[in-house]
A and B are shown apart, each in its own frame.
Chain A
Amino acid sequence: MTALLEAYDLVKHFPVRDAIGRKRGAVHAVDGVSLSVAAGETLAIVGESGCGKSTLGRLLLGLIPPDEGQVRFGGEELTQLSPAALRARRRDMQMIFQDPYASLDPRQTVQDAVAEPLRLHRIVPRAGEIARVASLLTRVGLSPEHARRWPHEFSGGQRQRVAIARALASGPRLILGDEPVSALDVSVQAQVIELLRGLISEMGLAFILISHDLGVVRQIADRVAVMYLGRIVEEGPSEALLAAPRHPYTRALRAAVPGGGRRAAPVSGDVPSPINPPSGCRFHTRCPHVEDICRSVVPPLADGVACHLADRLPPFAAVVDRQPNARLVRLQSRFRPQGDAA
């Protein structure tokens, strides 16, 4: 597979200024990230909030310019394009936002919202817009009559479907979903994930999923990149990576998922400030396996993992207590239907 989207050594720092505008440092939101997405592939970028994954997403789509590094989409260098040329390229790369209550313009009907990309990129003549919007709405599980309604008349899940229809309208090759289901109710999440999964495989879309939810990632991602404080610490095929995480941070994330067994290697404390990230391996302040080298030398991403100790850590299966959490089991049994109860 050839890469549809490639990023090299992306860096984005946001300056932090004091009250009178002097520069007081920088938030190292993204600090040297390289990755690629093949056509039709789904890549998940996971990490805690504040690790820079949303910034990375916006860099990948060229919505904000990187301080350093390059993004290539279909072989074309995005950072070199003129604003107009970059806008034209947006036809091929669309985005779905986290909060469907905020990402739809409250003063646009569903018809206008979904037709907007069609107009911007002159995809269908005006006369054909209604039919095209109707078919897009049907495709995302809404009905053509919904086109006349306003965003405020919909539930969160329905709005997210509208946002998905809008993202599909221009016939993109790549869609980036920035936490596309985390603002939704759990029951609705499953439906929207199912919808996304179907659309991705039907249309052969490349999809970048930004998420903190490994459960969601497991369901749709082919490949996973784990981010910590602006850097990728581990990357690999999703099944293998989730079954046998190698980086201590990935292990901690993985172990934190309910049903994933008891905490393998407890991680203490909070994410350090991205304004002055730790030296060496950024995870060393919280890593249970930390050694001297970790504090001074930045581990390169080699063979899918950025950890000095990757080869020496015990296998993941051995450290995870496979026994289900006893309290959880008891709790779940309370909610099980009682025999013949309706």
Chain B
Amino acid sequence: MNADSPRRRALRRFFQHRLAVLGLVVVVVFILAAVLAPWVAPYDPIQTSWTRLRKPPSAAFLFGTDENGRDVFSRVLWGARASLMAGVVSVLAAMLMGVPLGLLAGLAGKWTDALISRIADAMLSVPFLILAIALAAFLGPALENAMLAIAISAAPVFVRLARGMALEARSADWFEAARALGNPPWRTALLHVLPNIVPPLLVQGTLAIAEAIIAEASLSFLGLGQQPPQPSWGSMLNSAQRFLTQAPWMAIYPGVAIFVVVLAFNVFGDGLRDALDPRSQRR
């Protein structure tokens, strides 16, 4: 890649943004925790033990133990898998559904646009989490179904964004130039429009991951996501609520994990936006 490609310039700007870099570091730490959980977790996250119920945090059990005698620290590490997987995979799936439809709507126009846009509008009129819960309940309780439900609920945002960007691109001179050169419509869409709308999609994607993590935690909290005994931050919070006064550590650590990772994704996304679109200086 050339020394002064748009990508390089964006990277340079990003790394000047300290808070955003911190967000990225935290995200990377969580990803590492999720990937390396089998090796770094000190205990089995599922194995129960009647001899160490609801032990407070100590040197042996960093975050204490839960009502079944499982190490909360190990379960938080393993729970990162469900959360990050749900966040990343469902957002990727949402983009895979939403972006092509949005491009099609924006570039084809006429009734294609009307049809796609009305469906997206209808979905957007239902609150994100309510739609995800309804879909997850319909699909049945399982982590995969929760991810699919989140993906479908998050897709209309990407339809809207991609459509808007495509409309903007359509009025740009380089779009007409691409046509005048002899580009077929699909080639213009994929090789010219898509690369030009990647930056906002990336920003939106990062922010959507944060939302999807909350959604996954909410679904698991309601029993619609990760099924016990598999660990997930949401289901850990659910079982912790019965012991809030006796064993607050059971709620605090998964709660903090959700809070920190969501915050990190948001800060990272904001930094990405500043880096990718230097014109929108929002300070």
Contact = CB atoms under 8 A, between A and B. Distances in A.
Nearest to B182: A90
Given A102-B172, A107-B195, A121 B182 contact: yes
A120 B182 contact: yes
B192 A105 contact: yes
Interface in A140-169: 148-150, 152-153, 163, 166
Nearest to A152: B6
A283 to B, nearest CB: 30
B178 interface: yes
Interface size class of B (residues with CB under 8 A): 20 to 34
Contacts of B182: 87-88, 90-91, 117, 120-121, 170
A150 B1 CA distance: 11
B255 to A, nearest CB: 42
Interface string B146-187: 000000000000000000000000001110111111111001
Contacts of A84: 184
B180 A105 contact: no
Contacts of A163: 177
Contact of A95 (B5, B174, B180, B196): B180
A56 interface: no
Given A97-B177, A104-B174, A117-B182, A148 B196 contact: no
A77 B176 CA distance: 22
Contacts of B192: 105, 107-108
A148 B174 CA distance: 19
A108 B181 CA distance: 14
Given A87-B182, A106-B196, A150 B6 contact: yes
B2 A149 contact: yes
Contacts of B195: 105, 107
A195 B119 CA distance: 52
A149 B178 contact: no
Contacts of A116: 178, 181, 183
Interface in A157-215: 163, 166, 170
Contacts of B4: 149-150, 153
Given A105-B196, A149-B2, A97 B184 contact: no
Interface of A: 61, 63, 83-84, 87-88, 90-91, 94-95, 97-99, 102-109, 116-117, 120-121, 148-150, 152-153, 163, 166, 170
Given A87-B183, A104-B174, A116-B178, 6 more contacts: A90-B182, A91-B182, A105-B195, A120-B187, A149-B4, A153-B4
